[in-house]
Amino acid sequence: MSTVSPDVLVLGEPLVEVSTSEPFRDGATVRLAFSGDALNAAAAAAAAGARTALLARVPDDELGDALVARVSELGIDTETVIRVPGQHGVYFTHSDPSGRRQFAYARSGSAGSTLCPDDVAAVVENAGVVLASGITAAVSESAAAAVLYAAEHARRFVYDPNFRPRLTSAEEAAATLRRVAPLAELVTPSWPDEARTLLGLAADATPHAAVSATRALGASTVAVTRGSGGVLVGTATEAVDVPAVPPPRVVDQTGAGDVFAGTVAARLACGDELLAAVRLGAAAASLSVQGRGGTGFLPTLAQSRAAAKEART
């Protein structure tokens, strides 16, 4: 049993990110970085003031050394990073400020995809809040089992469905959501495509229907993210609209949803009420699009609080 006791434990696979602002083509200029939903969310949680640890398997090579150094640089505890032989998961992305993105993954059989329940068992009970996503559940059977184990044993569990059609089918992603929702304190589906697809909603359904359908699966609370439309928060007693925070500028929207989930998990772990945590998460996600890549710009807690306060005035 690990002695690490983070406020927030994020589990998943950090990825090598190869990005370009040009369409994919031979000779395109690219940038090497480290990203992936788990790393983005963990970095956001740390920036939001939580003691954060990343539970991940990372190859024991020079590129892995650089990745772990970046994890530490982002203020994330690396004691729960497990170094193993194997290959890195990589994704290639083209994005532009309008938000149009292309992704190509090379992660099948990666070291990160071998995450398993035994890895989670060593640390999960020490964490205040555990955050996991549908991406982690999609990369392998053992990683999916790790997510379910975390949901079953965490004190507080936050789940971001984060459906990626190139990683899994809608049927499998929906089945995972049905398994973990009853165990989750908070589920954060995105609107409209993800929520409609995974919840089986009609084309004319509303975000309120997504809240109702997710709560019907057993989730205690729901935060339906709607991009520039803000966030619809649903509890047992009410549904509250949290407005979006207009970003100062848009460079790259990659990872904004991860920043939202990580920030909310952090603030819940630090004692904030749900709506206060969501407001800060919405502000942090909006501010994050000023940077390139999933961790290109991570607002401080003070910056997120200032932006959230301004949005309410």
Q: Which of 37, 119, 160, 258 is catalytic?
A: 258
The residue-averaged pLDDT of 161-180 equals 96
Render pLDDT for 128-166 as a digit per residue (tens, 0 to 9): 999 999 999 999 999 999 999 999 999 999 999 999 998
Render pLDDT for 3-21 as a digit per residue (tens, 0 to 9): 789 999 999 999 998 888 7
The residue-averaged pLDDT of 118-123 equals 95
Other C-beta atoms lying within 10 Å of the C-beta of residue 15: 26
The residue-averaged pLDDT of 197-221 equals 97
pTM of the predicted model as reported, rounded to 2 decimal places: 0.93
Render pLDDT for 231-240 as a digit per residue (tens, 0 to 9): 999 999 999 9
User: How far lies 256's CA from each of 7, 201, 292, in Å?
Assistant: 21, 24, 11
Domain ranges of the chain: 8-13+37-86+124-311
Q: Confidence band (pLDDT; 50, 70, 90) for 74?
A: very high
How many Å separate Cα 160 from the centre of its chain? Answer: 6
User: Count of residues for the chain?
Assistant: 313
User: What b/e string do you get for 198-226 counting C-beta neighbours within 10 Å, with b at 16 or more?
Assistant: bbebeeebebebbbbbbbebebbbbbbbb
State residue 291's pLDDT score.
81
State residue 176's pLDDT score.
98
Which helix (H) or strand (E) segment is 118 a member of? Answer: helix 117-121
Q: Is the dihedral of CA 59, 120, 273, 246 positive or negative?
A: positive
| Superfamily for domain range 8-13+37-86+124-311 | Ribokinase (3.40.1190.20)
60 among known catalytic residues: no
The 3-state DSSP class for residue 190 equals strand
Q: What long-range pairs does 66-73 form, CB within 8 A, spacing at least 24? A: 66/34, 67/14, 67/16, 67/34, 70/34, 71/14, 71/34, 71/39, 71/42
What is the tally of helices (H) and strands (E) in the chain? Answer: 11, 13
Render pLDDT for 21-69 as a digit per residue (tens, 0 to 9): 777 888 888 889 999 999 999 999 999 999 999 999 999 999 999 999 9
Render pLDDT for 238-288 as a digit per residue (tens, 0 to 9): 999 999 998 888 877 778 999 999 999 999 999 999 999 999 999 999 999
Mean model confidence pLDDT for the chain = 93
Is the pLDDT reported for residue 215 higher than 70? Answer: yes
State residue 101's pLDDT score.
61
Q: Confidence band (pLDDT; 50, 70, 90) for 296?
A: confident
Which helix (H) or strand (E) segment is 278 a member of? Answer: helix 274-288
DSSP annotation of 23 reads P
156 phi and psi angles, rounded to 5 deg: -140, 130
Task: Quote the strand ranges of the chain, DSSP E.
Answer: 8-11, 15-20, 31-35, 52-59, 81-84, 90-95, 101-106, 129-133, 157-160, 186-187, 221-225, 231-234, 239-242
